[in-house]
Amino acid sequence: WRILRRTAYVGTAAWFVYGGYNIYTARHPLAQAAFDPEKKTIVILGSGWASTAFLKDIDTVNYNVVCIRGSHFRCQHKDYAQSRAKSRRTFCFTLTFPIPSQVIVSPRNYFLFTPLLPSTTVGTVDFRSIIEPIRYITRHKSREVKVYEAECSDIDPVKKTIVINDNSEIKGSVAQQSLPYDYLIIGTGCQNATFGIKGVEEYACFLKEVWDAQKIRTRLMDCIETAAFAGQPEEEIERLLHMVVVGGGPTGVEYAAELHDFLKDDLVDWYPDIAGKVNITLVEALQTVLPVFSKQLIEYTETTFKEQNIKILTKTMVKEVRQKEILVKDADGSERTIPYGLLVWATGNTTRPFIRSLMEKLPESQTVRRGLAVDELLRLQGAEDIWALGDVTATKYAPTAQVASQQGKYLARMFNLMAIKDKLEAQVVAMSEGPEKDKQIRKINRLKDIKPFHYSHQGSLAYIGSEKAIADLPLFHGNISAGGVATYVFWRSAYLSNLFSIRNRTLVAMDWIKKNVFGRDISRE
């Protein structure tokens, strides 16, 4: 017992030291080597799963020039930074080959942990808990990484330039700029598919970005407060409290589940008069919801939704969206309208317009409409020095965070190997013939033999409400399916451990505790 107790003490102390060290280093990044325009430049488009995984793993430790300028913090630490710069130069003095500098371009200046986005629509988790500013990552790289909050609108693969636009509300005198690149990494994901259905853009809410979740939350509370307004006719109350979700994929299912929890845990207490009148309907064009999950889990989800009074309309296709109703076509071909108060549109992904125009510039090799065609090393087909990864690509893999982040890690590893190969090649040129040079050449040849991207599936998880989750997990060569409360505990711990940083983990854990103690916030933002 004494040994166990001591181990527990030492373990706890070590955990605190480790946590404290992480927090300290996160808040006090070291000085960085300056952005060097002489060196090759990697331009990374996007700050999502793919691009962030790439950025996190790309090794910049060998950068060899350090210059401190700018902010208060940097001035205060000038001497320290210069001494570090010296030691780094001494350590890396042989590395004079051109190592790429990096530029990030993204319309949002943070990484978003999408798996918990549905939880933010009802206030289970706060938006800020699941985002990580991209500068928290770039400031910890050994060389300065330029970050532009901008949208890329054009890529010229021949001139090797991109056009970026500042589409934010506040603009300076320059709002458009052309940037050259040596290597371009495209990780811009997809946009919401509407299939050109009339009224979707105008009246529905999407669920892809933080601002979408904020809009859903505001509209939801608006519907509820408007339904509670004095003298509201019964028919109007029914419409306002009808929450319709279109698309029975994981996004639609998880949103419906979160909405149900909000209704059951909070609305019942704070709006006792109208809570019983809230209805949730999930509309799906196919035969079942969650087609990617096993049959057993589909049935389990459908049964759970039935218990939760979530109505599932399968084989029902939305044909048009109007301001207060949707027009649907049933399996027998008949059409009818369904009134709604809140409409959430979750029918999957489609290619962004600027990606489509890039594909048009490469008509011979970019023939897949679904996204960018890449080879097994993630190189864009038909262009030089461009790589594409994540949802923006059309590969055999599902458009998931798992695939995107594994591709980002893989590509970073490949770039790191390229840098080592360049270094060795530079050394070989200066070497005289002999066994040492042969050994070096063999090493270079081994590095040239880059392995194709291999995806390792870790399983699929989804939250289905009432503290139940479903999981399809690969086991040896088979698959195990599980659903229920224990799976929910697993779901929570898996997402908690996969969150980006110790800061995100702490904030999400606190949000969960806060929700259990005080309930969700029902104020309209």
- Residues 258-297, one symbol each (x = binds ligand NAI by CB under 6 A, - = not), give -------------------------xxxx----xx-----
Please report whether residue 108 would count as binding ligand FAD according to CB under 6 A.
yes
Q: Identify the residue among 100, 123, 187, 341 touching ligand FAD (CB under 6 A).
A: 187
What residue 286 binds from ligand NAI, ligand FAD, none (CB within 5 to 8 A, per partner kind)? ligand NAI
- The least CB distance from residue 318 to ligand NAI, in Å, is 4
**Cα–Cα distance, 269 to 224 (Å, whole number):** 13
Min separation Cβ 9 and ligand FAD, Å: 37
246 binds ligand NAI (CB under 6 A): yes
The 97-126 contact track toward ligand NAI, x by CB under 6 A, reads ------------------x-----------
Is there binding between residue 120 and ligand FAD (CB under 6 A)? no
What is the Rg, in whole angstroms, of the alpha carbon atoms belonging to the chain? 26
The answer to whether 152 contacts ligand FAD (rule: CB under 6 A) is: yes
Q: Which does 411 bind (CB under 5 to 8 A by kind): ligand NAI, ligand FAD, none?
A: none
Query: Applying CB under 6 A, which of residues 131, 267, 317, 419 lies at the interface with ligand NAI?
Result: 317
Whole-angstrom distance, CA of residue 499 vs CA of residue 50:
15
d(CA 308, CA 261): 9
Contacts of ligand NAI in 3-42 (CB under 6 A): none
Looking at residues 349 to 388 of the shown chain, list those that interact with ligand NAI (rule: CB under 6 A): 349
Of the pair 81, 317, the CB lying nearest ligand NAI is at 317
Q: Which residues contact 435 (CB under 8 A, 6 or more apart)?
A: none
Check: CB of residue 42 under 8 Å from CB of residue 101.
yes
Site string for ligand NAI, 443-472 (x = CB under 6 A): -----------------xxx----------
H/E element, 325: strand 325-329
Shortest spacing between CB 152 and ligand FAD, in angstroms: 4
- Residue 317 interacts with, from ligand NAI, ligand FAD, none (CB under 5-8 Å by kind): ligand NAI
Question: How near is the Cβ of 200 to ligand NAI at its closest, in Å?
Answer: 9
The token pair that represents 483 in the structure block: 């659903």
- Residue 151 contacts ligand FAD per CB under 6 A: yes
Q: Rule CB under 6 A: which of 326-345 touch ligand FAD?
A: none
Question: Could you tell which of ligand FAD, ligand NAI, none binds residue 47, using a CB distance below 5 to 8 A set by kind?
Answer: ligand FAD
Task: Give the residues across from 272 on adjacent strands.
Answer: none
By beta-carbon proximity to ligand NAI, the closer residue of 216 and 224 is: 216
From candidates 188, 350, 351, 487, binder to ligand FAD by CB under 6 A: 188
122 binds, among ligand FAD, ligand NAI, none (CB under 5 to 8 A by kind): none
Residues 250-289 that bind ligand FAD (CB under 6 A): 251
118 binds ligand FAD (CB under 6 A): yes
> Do the bridges between strand 342-345 and strand 110-112 make them parallel or antiparallel, or are there none, so unpaired?
unpaired
Cα–Cα dist 37/423, whole Å = 19
The rounded Cα 255 to chain-centroid distance in angstroms is 17
Residue of 167, 198, 461, 241 whose CA lies nearest to 345:
198
Residue type for position 390: G
What is residue 111's DSSP assignment? Answer: E
Q: Which does 107 bind (CB under 5 to 8 A by kind): ligand NAI, ligand FAD, none?
A: ligand FAD
Q: Are 281 and 344 within 8 A, CB to CB?
A: no
Cβ atoms of 245 and 344 closer than 8 Å: yes
Please answer whether residues 363 and 313 qualify as being in contact, where contact means their C-beta atoms are separated by less than 8 angstroms: no
In the complex, residue closest to ligand FAD by CB: 48
Is there binding between residue 48 and ligand FAD (CB under 6 A)? yes
Binding residues with ligand FAD: total (CB under 6 A) = 33
Q: Note whether 205 and 216 are within 8 A (CB).
A: yes
Q: Which stretch binds ligand NAI (CB under 6 A): 59-67, 343-351, 373-381, 431-439?
A: 343-351
Q: Is residue 106 a contact point for ligand FAD (CB under 6 A)?
A: yes
CB 147 within 8 A of CB 109: yes
Give, as ranges, the residues between 204 and 233 that touch ligand FAD (CB under 6 A): 207-208
Q: How far is it, in rounded angstroms, from Cα 272 to Cα 192?
A: 35
Q: In whole angstroms, how close is the CB of 273 to ligand NAI at the nearest point?
A: 32
How many chain residues are in contact with ligand NAI, going by CB under 6 A? 28
Separation of alpha carbons 214 and 523, rounded Å: 12
Rounded to 10°, the helix 435-448/401-429 angle is 160
Closest CA to 43 of 385, 299, 377: 385
CB atoms within 10 A of CB 333: 6
46 binds ligand FAD (CB under 6 A): yes
Residue 92 has a CB neighbour count (10 Å cut-off) of: 16
3-state secondary structure (DSSP) of residue 152: strand
CA distance 30 to 183: 27
Strand partners, 479: 474
Q: Which of 503, 497, 509 is nearest to 27 (CA)?
A: 503
Query: Which stretch, 8-16, 115-123, 267-275, 443-451, contacts ligand FAD (CB under 6 A)?
Result: 115-123
Residue in 265, 259, 111, 132 with CA at minimum distance from that of residue 187:
111
**Interacting residue ranges for ligand NAI, rule: CB under 6 A:** 115, 195, 246-252, 254, 283-286, 291-292, 317-318, 346-349, 398-400, 460-462
**Interacting residue ranges for ligand FAD, rule: CB under 6 A:** 45-51, 105-108, 114-115, 117-118, 151-152, 187-189, 207-208, 251, 352, 354, 390-392, 399-402, 404
